[in-house]
Amino acid sequence: MSHASHTPPPTSRIWLFGDDVNTDDVLPGKYAPFMVGEDVFQNYAFAHLRPEFAREYRPGDLLVAGRNLGLGSSREYAPEALKKLGVRAIIARSYARIFYRNLVNLGIVPFISEEVVDNAEDGAEASLDLKTGVLVMGGRTYRLEPPPAFLLAALAEGSLLEYFKKHGDFPGVE
């Protein structure tokens, strides 16, 4: 399928996941960095669910998932494994709350879209402009809703940690 007039960021592929993908799926507990080493744990991302993922994922490839992504453990090293592999953004129907916080804290943009998930196909090509939230997929253009202002302020500095480092405090909330 051709993408007519756009000349967006380089095209990447979609990795499509279903509903209720939990943090034991994202990174099984036995492959935690403090068990297997800080430098190799990312190689076990989706080790049970999609063993080819860590090997075949290319930075910029898009993760698309269904409902309640990241339920379960608070382990930040699950999304951190994804970050180490080059994941910059995820599109899901909804997120479990700790996973959502962890994504923002690490600087991975958590987009929410029913429409994109409805139409996404595993392995299909897509391109996402992270700054504008414009996604081109299957010849169609989608405008993704940006995260709430508080989180956007954090993401603008790279992550909540970067924000705190720079400003010595949380983004304004009043």
Partner 1 sequence: MTLAEAILSQKVGRRVRPGELVVARVDHAMTIDSIVPTVIDRLEELSAEPCCPERVSLVYDHVAPAANVNVAEAQRRGREWARRTGVNFYEVGRGVCHQVLVEEGVARPGALIVGSDSHSTSYGAVGAFGTGMGATDVALAIASGRTWLRVPESVKVTFRGRPRPGVAAKDAALEMVGRLGADGATYMAVEIHLEDGAERAFGRSERLTLANLAMEAGAKAGLVVPSGEILELYQVPGWLRPTAGARYARELEIDLEELTPRLAAPFYVDNVHPLHDHAGAEVDFVFVGTCTNGRIEDLRAAAEVLRGRRVAPTTRMLVVPASSEVLKQAMAEGVLQTLIEAGATIGTPGCGPCMGRHMGVAAGGERVVSTANRNFRGRMGSPGAEVFLASPRTAALAALLGRIPDEEEAAG
Which residues bind to partner 1, rule: CB under 8 A? 20, 22, 24-25, 28-30, 32-38, 48-49, 67-68, 71-77, 80, 94-98, 101-102, 105-106, 148, 150, 159-161, 164-165, 169-170, 173
* Cβ pair 150, 164 in contact under 8 A: no
CA distance 25 to 19: 12
Main-chain phi, psi angles of 64, to 5 degrees: -125, 130
Q: Choose between 125 and 157: whose C-beta lies nearer to partner 1.
A: 157
Smallest separation, CB 64 to partner 1 (Å) = 18
Q: Choose between 31 and 57: whose C-beta lies nearer to partner 1.
A: 31
**Torsion angle defined by CA atoms of residues 55, 144, 19 and 156, in that order, rounded to the nearest 10 degrees:** 60
Smallest separation, CB 28 to partner 1 (Å) = 5
Q: Choose between 58 and 170: whose C-beta lies nearer to partner 1.
A: 170
Please list the residues that pair with 116 across neighbouring strands. Answer: none
SS3 129: strand
Q: Choose between 36 and 141: whose C-beta lies nearer to partner 1.
A: 36
* Cβ pair 17, 64 in contact under 8 A: yes
Smallest separation, CB 170 to partner 1 (Å) = 5
Smallest separation, CB 12 to partner 1 (Å) = 26
Smallest separation, CB 48 to partner 1 (Å) = 4
Q: Choose between 109 and 128: whose C-beta lies nearer to partner 1.
A: 109
Please list the residues that pair with 12 across neighbouring strands. Answer: 126
